[in-house]
Structures are given as structure tokens and as C-alpha cells.
Amino acid sequence: KIQYVLDIPSLIIVVLPTIYYVISVHGWKNYGNSWKALLGSVKNIDKSQLEPTRLCLRDLGNLSLIWGILGTFVGAILMLREMESVLRQGSLFPAVAISLITLFYGIIFYMLCLVSKSRIERQLVE
């Protein structure tokens, strides 16, 4: 079931700060080229833009992983702060699942960016 792996607030914790940073540092053009690379059209990116796009993808992947880890820590802290009520209600495992879902999102985005970055690096060598 999709609701087991879809949590919009956790997704926002990972995606929004990552996108904000990447656009602030690399600009809209490189961010747009990153999406072209993620969706599979690396050959449509201008040769002069491949290296900046590779750096943008590197930062997208690394930051999504970092925000995933931070989201997991925040979820664990909130869960531990309310541990008595969590144990009383018998809802420990759903609380742990919500705590870990940000890490899951971070790893997924990291892997997608890693694959796209590798395709760009291969294109740079050719």
C-alpha cells in the first residue's frame, strides 16, 4: 500500500531545503538541467553545461541524504520526548516508521542523483 511509504510532511522536510539550497547556489538553469538529467535526457544538455549540472546533481544528492538523516533525528527526538504516551498507546512502531521515512526519501533521492551524475560524467569523458 502506498500510504506506508508516502508521508507528505517528511517529504517536504527532505525536498524543500534541498531545492532551496541548490537553486540559491547553482541557479535555475543548472537546476533545470538537473531535472533533465534525472528524467533521462543527458544528451539534450549543452556540453558547456555538463560540469555545472554534474555539480548541481552532486549537491542535490548529498543534501537530500543529509536532510533525510536530520529528519530522522528530529523524528526520533520527538518520539523519545513522547515515549511514555507512545508506549501507553502501543503505537511505537508507527512512530518509528514515521521517524525513518525521511531517511528513506533521502536515500532514494541520493541514488537517483548518483545515477544521473554518473551518466553526465560518462558524457563528459566522451
In tens, the pLDDT along 90-113 reads 777 777 777 899 999 999 999 999
Quick one: pLDDT at residue 94?
72
Query: How many CB atoms lie under 10 A from the CB of residue 87?
Result: 11
In a domain, 17, yes or no: no
Residue 125 has pLDDT above 80, yes or no: yes
Q: What 3-state class would DSSP assign to 44?
A: helix
In a domain, 61, yes or no: yes
In a domain, 30, yes or no: yes
Q: What 3-state class would DSSP assign to 89?
A: helix
pLDDT in tens, 46-91: 888 999 999 999 999 999 999 999 999 988 888 888 777 777 777 7
pLDDT in tens, 2-49: 777 888 988 999 999 999 999 999 999 999 999 988 887 788 888 889
In a domain, 71, yes or no: yes
Q: Are 60 and 113 in contact (CB under 8 A)?
A: yes
Quick one: pLDDT at residue 28?
95
In a domain, 52, yes or no: yes
Quick one: pLDDT at residue 112?
94
The grid coordinates listed for 20 are 532551496
Query: How many CB atoms lie under 10 A from the CB of residue 24?
Result: 9
In a domain, 77, yes or no: yes
Where is pLDDT greater, at 126 or 15?
Answer: 15
Total domain count for the chain? 1
Whole-angstrom distance, CA of residue 92 vs CA of residue 83: 8
In a domain, 6, yes or no: no
In a domain, 2, yes or no: no
Q: What is the DSSP letter of 69?
A: H
The domain containing residue 55 runs over which residues?
23-125
